[in-house]
Structure 1
Amino acid sequence: MIVCVCHRVSDREIARHVRAGMGFDEIQFELGVATQCGQCETCARDVVAQCSASHPVAALQCDAGVRTVQLARSISESKAWKSSQASVVA
């Protein structure tokens, strides 16, 4: 999903930078998110918070066309983990 329309920055780009160890200020400088009109700042900060090190696993889920981030308590609770385990067993 595009978070910053002005600079065409997606939630996946922001998440990738968070996983690389960057905080919001560094991401803002690197990608330009929330530097033009500012309408995306709250959403961008939410994506950074949800993908931070304190939340080890985030899985995107579509509900009625709206993307939400559901956080698992551990990697073994993640849908991605279960589907990858099923393919290993098969």
Structure 2
Amino acid sequence: MYVCVCRAVTDGQIFQAARAGASSLKDLRRELGVASECGQCASCAKQCLREVHQGDATAAMPISFA
């Protein structure tokens, strides 16, 4: 699912960045450009970070429709 439409960033990309060490919205902004345009995605991006860092492994798994 797209989290940041302005920069075409998906939740999967955010989960991957979080697993690679991103721990704040500032990190996501630097690495992916999240919340650097309109900012509407900031709360959803932070929620994605929380899910990964709180150990919710199922939330961090990308959904496959194959």
* TM-score of Structure 1 vs Structure 2, range by shorter chain: 0.7 to 0.9
Q: Aligned residues, how many?
A: 59
Shift of 1:46: 0.3
TM-score if structure 1 supplies the norm length? 0.60
Distance 1:16 1:10 in 2: 10
Aligned ranges for residues 10-89 of structure 1 at < 5 Å? Answer: 10-24=10-24, 25-52=26-53, 54-55=54-55, 57-59=56-58, 69=59
Shift of 1:58: 2.1
State the secondary structure of the residue aligned to 1:3.
strand
The structure number with the bigger radius of gyration is: 1
Q: Greater strand share, 1 or 2?
A: 1
TM-score if structure 2 supplies the norm length? 0.80
Q: Which has the higher contact order (CA 8 A, sep 6+)?
A: 2
Distance 2:57 2:2 in 1: 18
Could you tell me which amino acid in structure 1 is paired with residue 28 of structure 2? I
Runs of 4+ in 1 over 6 A off after TM superposition: none
Identity of aligned residues (%): 39
